[in-house]
Structure 1
Amino acid sequence: MVSSNTASQEEMMINRVPLQWRDQCSALLIPLNKCRHRENYAPWKCEDERHTYEKCQYQDFLRRAKVLQKEKKAAALAGAEDE
């Protein structure tokens, strides 16, 4: 499933996004990194970009947790049926 926040492989290669950060929010990370570089990594700069990226990361975490919970429930039901 590709979301609107996912950059293409070519975009990630061009912007040198490390492999561990190539996730559902990669399209938001690219402008954040550009802003950070432009502002010399000042922590009070780029707050809007950082907030948007962190919100995306949190929503992705919630989505993955929900999927895992459904899988665990399905496995428990399948285990109960086998008995």
Structure 2
Amino acid sequence: MGAHLVRRYWGEPEPDPLTMPTSPIGEQFQERGVMVATAEQMDMANLPLAQRDYCAHHLIKFMKCKRDMWPNILACTDERHEWEYCQHLDYVQRMKQYERERRLLVRQARKEQNGSRVTSVRFLLSEWRNKSFNYFIIKISLMVMPIFCVFFFFFFFVVCAIVASFIS
């Protein structure tokens, strides 16, 4: 939850869902289903525009079953399951394609930044090679940490003693 907010905060590129797929490989990634229901069938079934997708033929069957079995609409669970499963598969495919496009954009942005970051990479490598400095910092932190802990506990006990003297 909130992963898209983190991506926006860090400034990672995101694909535009209205113009996907942008890469030629992306077009081969998702083989969209073939529209089984024709426009005339969807018009005759009075399907809303929002539901005229690749699963419309399942929805038409489901609506026909509900109409034919009117008092007992629970008899149409198989048709409803087929339609919902088709909707789920379509959603999963769209999310996979969106994530793939996002990763391609991130990879492309990283490749563009690598050219400008050659000097910073060299600087990091030189710092990494300077192991004596790193070991010095680690030794200092290991020496200071016990002293800090002793000081903290001493301060804590002194404060507790002062508070206890005021209470009693």
Q: Out of 76, 84, 107, which is 1:54 matched to?
A: 84
- Provide the residue aligned with 1:8 in structure 2: 38
- Aligned-residue offset at 1:15: 1.3
- Provide the residue aligned with 2:20 in structure 1: none
- Provide the residue aligned with 1:65 in structure 2: 95
Q: CA RMSD in A?
A: 1.8
TM-score under structure 2 length normalisation: 0.45
Which amino acid in 2 is paired with 1:25?
Answer: C
Structure with bigger helix share is 2
- Provide the residue aligned with 1:39 in structure 2: 69
- The runs of 5 or more residues in structure 1 that have no matched partner are none
- Aligned-residue offset at 1:82: 1.7
Query: Identity over aligned residues, as a percent?
Result: 29
- Aligned-residue offset at 1:5: 5.8
Distance in 2 between residues matched to 1:9 and 1:2, nearest whole Å: 18
- The runs of 5 or more residues in structure 2 that have no matched partner are 1-30, 114-168
Which amino acid in 1 is paired with 2:42?
Answer: M
- Provide the residue aligned with 1:29 in structure 2: 59
1:2–1:77 CA distance, 2 compared to 1 (3 A) = closer
TM-score under structure 1 length normalisation: 0.86
Distance in 1 between residues matched to 2:65 and 2:109, nearest whole Å: 50
